[in-house]
Amino acid sequence: MKDAEQKHLWWQEGVIYQIYPRSYQDSNGDGVGDLQGIIQRLDHIKSLGIKAIWISPIFSSPMADFGYDISDYCDIHPLFGTMDDFDELLQAVHERDMKLILDLVPNHTSDEHPWFKESRSSKDNPKRNWYIWQDANADGSEPNNWLSVFGGSAWEWDEKTGQYYYHAFLKEQPDLNWRNPEVQEAMLNVMRFWLDKGVDGFRVDVMWHMIKDDQLRDNPVNPNYKAHQATYEKLIPAYSTDQPEVHDIVHKMRRVLDSYDERMMIGEIYLPIHKLMTYYGTDKNGAHLPFNFLLLSIDWDATEISSNINQYEGALPDGGWPNWVLGNHDQPRITSRVGKAQARVAAMLLLTLRGTPTIYYGDEIGMRDVPIPPDEIQDPQGLNMPGLNLSRDPQRTPMQWDNSENAGFTQSKPWLRLPEDYRRVNVKAQLEDEFSIYALYKRLIKLRQDEPALHIGSYRPVVATGPLLAYLRYTGEQRFLILLNLSHKPCHFAPEHFSFEGTIVIDTLPEREGGKVRKHVSLSGDEGMIIRLNTA
């Protein structure tokens, strides 16, 4: 069945917008964003053309890892508000015909979670096997060589019970034992709790971590490790992640979602393409969208990007829906990676590729990573591996709303500092500038939503040379040619075996819009264009 003939769901047709709630809008003057703050800014999100909002964790937590260490999965941290605030947010999102996606963190809990407190209380506690406990080796050493993503060993000695417990991240984040059916059912019930409230889906944190090798075999040494990398990269996590049994767990999660109407699941998975594809599941019974992070990790080079897009498209299972990401709370911002001019080209790439795009808050105004002085670093990844410049604070700074004190984010000192130029780079200033990157994002999203070829149509690469990335999006008689110059120098598109004629509908240089092109076209440096091709 052709794309245009299929029924497409909201998460296939729309754009997802990620909010890091600590940094979006503070409503009560404590310097930290909250749920009422998000409610205040929903009209900004709606006016951008967004269909779904994904919110990073807002649950009860000691905040050792800013909410990714959860002590109660079914309650709201007072920093963000109350359950009544959440209910109000959910209703306000739905009233604006948008969807709400929550962050689910099933791999580990906080060490303050009642489950872990019970598990830790004694070796014969009924919840002992809810976590991964192991005896020391005969010589007193740790059970194996597994490392923590946040630095150091992944094993923590518990003096009281005389065993080690496993933590893939901080020692305050013990990993659950997902081989235990009781753990599975408890977490599936967490999902049901939020789905019953009306939440539209989940982004599942570190999905590929959930099951570990049952023999706890040592991970192999990484021969390609470099000194500037995180210490975690010293080993290849062959046995501590991406085990075959994880797909049974993902399938069980999917079955829960499928028992509700039109709910969806995104999986956070940092794996090569061929492994990522397995998370769609056999017969599409896995994650709806295993997050595709290709554009976060490869060089900003037309040949490499084109090759990776084609590999990804070619690897998708039958019926598997693609998705694309330019940034998130764990990765440097796109504007910092490629520069202000190329960030516009990147926006055009994200919003014209086939599949569901996810926008990280602030990218719509070109926010950059903010330099955080060493004595202000809060991120445990940065604190635990000093000197490697691995803090994620720079990409988590407050949203820049206007040119008032603290950028309109808060009336007190913000939890992370703002950039020096926030009085120039903010939402209010860009709303008044028809040539701003915000205006470009808004127009791209509208075109994408208005044109079936762009939101559900097929993709076909077009051969181009040098710094030029070219491809077609089409459905039925409708065809768009996208040309993106990924360099600062001018280039020329004159394909030998592809004849085209059409009108430029959106260009990073708006002065060219409405212009007619035929057979060949020259592009300025940092220029991207969408050409509506004439029908025969």
Q: Is 205 a catalytic residue?
A: yes
Identity of the amino acid at 165: Y
* Residue of 502, 368, 365 lying closest to 440 (CA atoms): 365
Joined together, the tokens standing for residue 206 give 């570190």
Rounded Cα gap, residues 432 and 127, in angstroms: 58
Joined together, the tokens standing for residue 218 give 């040592």
Contact assessment for residue 212 and residue 239, using Cβ atoms and an 8 Å cutoff: yes
Instruction: Name the one residue in this structure whose structure tokens are 């049994």.
Output: 245
| Marked catalytic residue, from 26, 69, 172, 268 | 268
| Marked catalytic residue, from 205, 364, 393, 527 | 205
- Length of the chain counted residue by residue: 536
b/e per residue 337-358 (b: at least 16 CB within 10 A) = bbbebbbbbbbbbbbbbbbbbb
The H or E element containing residue 159 is: none
* Residue of 493, 495, 486 lying closest to 525 (CA atoms): 486
Rounded Cα gap, residues 376 and 394, in angstroms: 11
Contact assessment for residue 267 and residue 236, using Cβ atoms and an 8 Å cutoff: no
- Helical packing angle, 83-95 and 181-197, nearest 10°: 60
Rounded Cα gap, residues 362 and 380, in angstroms: 23
Rounded Cα gap, residues 86 and 72, in angstroms: 15
Residues tagged active-site: 205, 268
